[in-house]
Amino acid sequence: MRVEERLLKYVSYWTTSDEECRQIPSSERQFELGKVLEQELRDLGLEKVTLTDHCYVYGLLPATKGYADKPAVGFISHMDTAPDFSGKDVKPQIIPDYDGNDVLLKGSGAYLKVSDFPTLETLKGRTLITTDGTTLLGADDKAGVAEIMTAVEQIITEKIPHGDIWIGFTPDEEVGSGADLFDLGYFKAKFAYTVDGDYEGEVAYENFNAASASFEITGVNVHPGEAKDIMINAALVGCEIASLLPENETPAHTEGREGFYHLTDFSGDIAHAKVNYIVRDHDKASFEKRLDSLRGIEKKMNEKYHADTVKLNIQHSYSNMLEVIEKNEYVVAIAKKAIKNVGLEPVSRPVRGGTDGARLSFMGLPCPNLGTSGYGFHGPFEHISVEEEKLGLKGSPTRVWKSFTKGAKAAGKVFEVEPAEAADIIVEKLKEKFII
């Protein structure tokens, strides 16, 4: 099965995780896809295939003859999609030979704009898969699941020699608990890769330190005509809390390694309100300082009003895996070599997010993150491109993609130049067509 066929199959399953639920999986619907993946691994002939009571799927592709002594490697992706936007009844748009322009999302009438997503220009000529604007796509991370499954099938079909290859699919990555019950006693890889990034050729090993923070606010509600010096409006206290945080330290105003406070949800009334944040920073000291700032706000509010008006709950999500990967640099070197071997240029940049791999790295399994070629995750502008089948000799490092003639072409221009200059012209023309 082609990788895009798998992706379209997987996104049809509604697997949104539930950030309000502390159970794993946070939503029973994730089991529907888990059962499908379990059966596919069995059909491919993998061993030690299991679907656990907590919706983790594992499988082993045993080493080929003569390779049993090679280090075991793992590949991991998550099945759930983000609760930030609807993941139910996904209706993908498939656009062959994408022209590089803005794309109408026919379900909502909105446009996927090149001005908002400049990487779209690099996808010209490929098959583009988008949402219809009414849901997210689910390429985060069903693209990773599809890519792992397709790679396993290719390894088996082409009889590519290999050591032990472990496969793992997790629930609830999007709510920060995907690695909580990951069984490293069963999943016996020496190192692994999450396939959960975005940029083509990406190998990422530096991510945010992350936590979630919730302010529970208890107000005092009395008749507004008799409220002087008595009423404490919980909703207004919530607004006051938000005003005490730096307005330029939000996702909309930060980039690179810059951290932020992100207000994700605000609900309530006079009697009770709740303000939810996620807190992110690459630098550990800066991250802890941010958490201390939140604790300071809690103290200030309780001193201004009365004790127990505000209660802050902080829950750690994950840490920056760089601390672990720096001690295991070989896992990055292997990935970069593999990326170069297929004609791509490795891309490594600070990840403004996190993966199961960050948690797993601190649990003893070094686990950088590989890109899936998807963009705009967690919302209606999510999109991904399909790479066409490579031609040429097996193992060729050249990046030559299948193309299809669309009828008769006009005669080409003749260049009478030296061989070296001719080579330069050819390369430039190939780049123009996004072939290389």
Catalytic residues: 80, 173
β-sheet bridge partners, residue 169: 57, 77
What's the one-letter identity of residue 62? P
- Which of 344, 348, 338, 290 has its CA nearest to residue 316? 290
Between CA 348 and CA 336 the distance in angstroms is: 9
Between CA 195 and CA 142 the distance in angstroms is: 10
Radius of gyration of the chain (CA): 25
CA atoms 157, 160, 161, 165: torsion sign? negative
C-alpha 283 chain-centroid distance? 21
Q: Is 415 left (phi over 0), alpha (psi -120 to 50) or beta?
A: beta
The answer for residues whose C-beta is within 8 angstroms of residue 201's C-beta and 6 or more apart is 339, 344, 345, 346, 347, 371
Q: DSSP characters for 326-341?
A: TT-THHHHHHHHHHHH
What distance separates the 2 farthest-apart alpha carbons in the chain? 93
Q: Is 308 left (phi over 0), alpha (psi -120 to 50) or beta?
A: left
The answer for residues whose C-beta is within 8 angstroms of residue 65's C-beta and 6 or more apart is none
